[in-house]
Amino acid sequence: MQNSAMSSRPILALLLGGLLLTASCIGGSRSAAAFGMGGFGHMGGFGGRPMPGGGAMAGPSPGGGGLVGRSPGGNGWPSRHPPIVGGGGGPVGPGNSGGNRNNGGGGAPQQGNQNFIPNEIITAFAPNATPQAIALIARQYELTQLDSQSFPLLGTSLYRWRLGGGRTVANTVRALGGERIVASVQPNYVFTLQEETAKIAAAAAGPQGDAAQYVLAKLQSAQAQQIATGKDVLVAVIDSDIDAKHPDLDGTIVKNFDALAGDARPHAHGTSIAGAIAAHGKLLGIAPGAQVLAIHAFDDTPGAARGSSFAIYKSLQWAADNGARVVNMSFAGPADPTLQRLLAAAYDKGIVLVAAAGNGGPKSDPLYPAADPNVIAVTATDGDDHLFPMANRGRYIAVAAPGVDIFALAPGNAYVFTTGTSIAAAHVSGIVALLLEHKPSLKPGDIRAALTATAQPLGPPRPDSDFGAGLVSAYRAVMWLDRSPAAPSEGGAQAKQ
């Protein structure tokens, strides 16, 4: 009897252990289900913080994206993505603190300070999804299709929907994430142009390069333009509408694209950015020989022109389709996983991507697309090489360029003084055009290497300098190409960072 009891103890122990293990697994399943994805195995193990207004969400992972990576050997869209809600970069604008200042995510947008359109979502569907199945999903979730387009950069089509029936973005994204034919679903994020101030200026007089353009001396533009002017290099400007009739832009705008499909009125921001790159009249751009692909993706709201994810997607695809060598993005917003994939695809095609670091201030979370590793992030300095106080900070800053009290073009043959990281980014895009004319075979990694290797260090030498590598020089960068072997062009982490 004693032997029998002793022999049963191991059996009881095993049974008890099994019960505990079962309970643990059930508890784990409930935790995963709390992410609104039916458990980690169902949706790939992405999680996030609860979102006000219903349910939970998956957020972009550090580095600016929550999507699954590319399938081996191709650029196609993976067959399945987790649902995505919330911006990795936090709200757009100053005063947003407490985030990661490296390339990487914050989290959910806060209720009342949303950084996405509150009644729209964007989806992609599995390759085998039929039109009938997509229509059924639309009826089931009370979705009204607003737009759709094929995106060869991604190898898929994207759809923009309006929500009906009082549904919230968070709940709809969570629910659609469980549908087998839905490959990805996310909000339609909001981005803003990064201009802090604009003051009317008197019309410039005299020869090209007005004396008020201190930027020309700072960047040694005159010396660089003895070697290259950016002749015939295509620079896409994704911005508000550009005044192509401004005399300083005569013949510069070679193609136009309206991503908003609405009434377009020339806007000060887009006009100033195009002029900083390629003006050749009373004012002189950094690359006066460059050709501009004008893309209207932002509205004409005074002081805070806005654009959406979907408009920016269409703009990037059009720029790639029309042979852009450089894309200037003087706007900022939250981390957008689909935008991340488009930027990576554009980089792989050899397109140089330049963006404003953002005007969110020193406590802002990283803003995108500048914080994307495929993008050259530009901060702004003044005439005394001091940092623009409202510029974003972080290790993703690549270089600095003048961006305070810049004499710039405005619609109606006018001129303004403008300030912000927007105009600083445009100056760097102009330098990129010079480099590409001088050596057309350069890859994005080569361009970054030339800019950072020849920048003048500002501030204390440290890896996370607020100035990045320092103040760029058009002349030194162009000359560097002839003195050094080409930098690595494969665009690995070191080249991108």
* Residue range 335-350, pLDDT digits in tens: 999 999 999 999 999 9
Comparing CA positions, the residue from 427, 419, 429 lying closest to residue 388 is 419
437: enclosing H helix or E strand:
helix 421-438
Give 195's pLDDT tier (boundaries 50, 70, 90).
Answer: confident
Dihedral sign for Cα atoms in the order 111, 113, 115, 116: positive
Structure confidence at residue 132 as a pLDDT band (50, 70, 90): very high
Active-site position among 210, 239, 300, 405? 239
pLDDT at 322 over 90: yes
- The neighbouring-strand residues paired with 201 are 415
pLDDT at 201: 59
Pull the structure tokens for residue 93.
Answer: 């604008």
**What pLDDT, on the 0 to 100 scale, is given for residue 84?**
52
Q: Please provide the average confidence, as pLDDT, over all residues in the chain.
A: 79
Helix, strand, coil percentages (3-state) for the chain, rounded to 5, are 30, 20, 50
Domains and CATH numbers, the chain: 40-188 (3.30.70.80), 193-496 (3.40.50.200)
Q: Give me the phi and psi of 382, to 5 degrees please.
A: -105, -170
Give the mean pLDDT of 431-454: 98
Better-scored residue on pLDDT, 69 or 257: 257
Whether 429 is catalytic is no
The dihedral region occupied by 261, where left means phi > 0, alpha psi between -120 and 50, and beta the remainder, is left
Give this prediction's pTM.
Answer: 0.78
What is residue 70's predicted lDDT score, i.e. its pLDDT?
A: 30
Angle between helices 444-453 and 474-483 (to 10 degrees): 110
Q: Which of 140, 90, 143, 138 is nearest to 119 (CA)?
A: 143
What is the per-residue pLDDT for 106?
28
pLDDT digits (tens, 9 = 90+) for 239-270: 999 999 999 999 999 999 999 987 778 999 99
Cα 406 from Cα 215, distance rounded (Å): 7
How far, CA to CA in Å, does 9 sit from each of 18, 19, 237, 247, 340? 14, 15, 76, 94, 58
Selected catalytic residue, list 221, 422, 429, 465? 422
* Span 266-282, pLDDT tens digits: 999 999 999 999 999 99
Q: Which of 269, 296, 427, 438 is catalytic?
A: 269
Report the pLDDT averaged over residues 347-367: 97
Percent of all residues in the chain with a pLDDT value above 90, rounded to a whole number: 67
Q: Rounded distance, CA 236 to CA 291, Å?
A: 9
Known catalytic membership, residue 446: no
| pLDDT at residue number 352 | 98
pLDDT tens digits for range 155-177:
999 999 999 999 999 999 999 99
89 pLDDT above the threshold of 50:
no
DSSP 52: T
Task: Establish whether 7 is a catalytic residue.
Answer: no
